[in-house]
Amino acid sequence: MGSRPGKRHGYLIILLLIFTLFTTPFASAEPASERQKELETLLYQDCGSCHGMTLRGGLGPSLLPEALARYNLDAITGIILHGVPGTAMPPWSDLLTEDDAAWLADHLLSVKPASP
Ligand code: HEC
């Protein structure tokens, strides 16, 4: 027992704890406002390319709140992340985190889309 490697370990654990404390509040929060703007752009441009520029429907069905009322937030988040197999609706989990998708789902259910 010449040197004491255990002490160094202790520092690492404390550093890790501090790191966790500082990052956890952000991990499950809604996306930062910058990201929210990006997501909104994605919604009208990428999603809109199939669901219509005003989300009233095109190749894909309308994404207006009344059209999605039969789903809950989790169901819509799941559709966005995983797509609808066997249809043109692609999975977005490569591009979007779960928080991103949940934010979009909430946005679709609650926010009036842009007028035509
Ligand atoms: C390549 C075309 C395409 C793109 C891009 C696309 N979708 Fe879809 N989406 C579809 C189609 C087609 C359906 C209908 C699938 C079916 O028949 O159930 C659909 C279904 C959905 C549904 C379920 C609607 C319902 O009433 O069942 C949601 C929610 C949805 N899409 C959200 C999104 C979002 C959010 C995006 C962008 C992140 C997106 N979609 C991008 C084609 C697309």
Range scoring the smallest mean pLDDT among 25-29, 33-37, 59-63, 90-94: 25-29
Residue 60 Cα to ligand 1 midpoint, Å, equals: 5
Residue 34 Cα to ligand 1 midpoint, Å, equals: 24
Average pLDDT over residues 70-80: 97
List the residue whose alpha carbon is closest to atom 37 of ligand 1.
Answer: 47
Residue 66 Cα to ligand 1 midpoint, Å, equals: 15
Over 70: is that where the pLDDT of 4 sits? no
Fold type of domain 33-110: Cytochrome Bc1 Complex; Chain D, domain 2 (1.10.760)
Cβ burial 26-56 (10 Å sphere, 16+ → b, else e): eeeeebeeeeeeebeebbbeebbebbbebbe
The pLDDT of residue 8:
72
Over 60: is that where the pLDDT of 105 sits? yes
pTM of the entire predicted model: 0.75
List the residue whose alpha carbon is closest to atom 5 of ligand 1.
Answer: 47
List the structure tokens of 72.
């809950």
Domain coordinates in residue numbering, the chain? 33-110
Angle of helix 98-110 versus helix 73-82 axis, rounded to 10:
130
The pLDDT of residue 111:
73
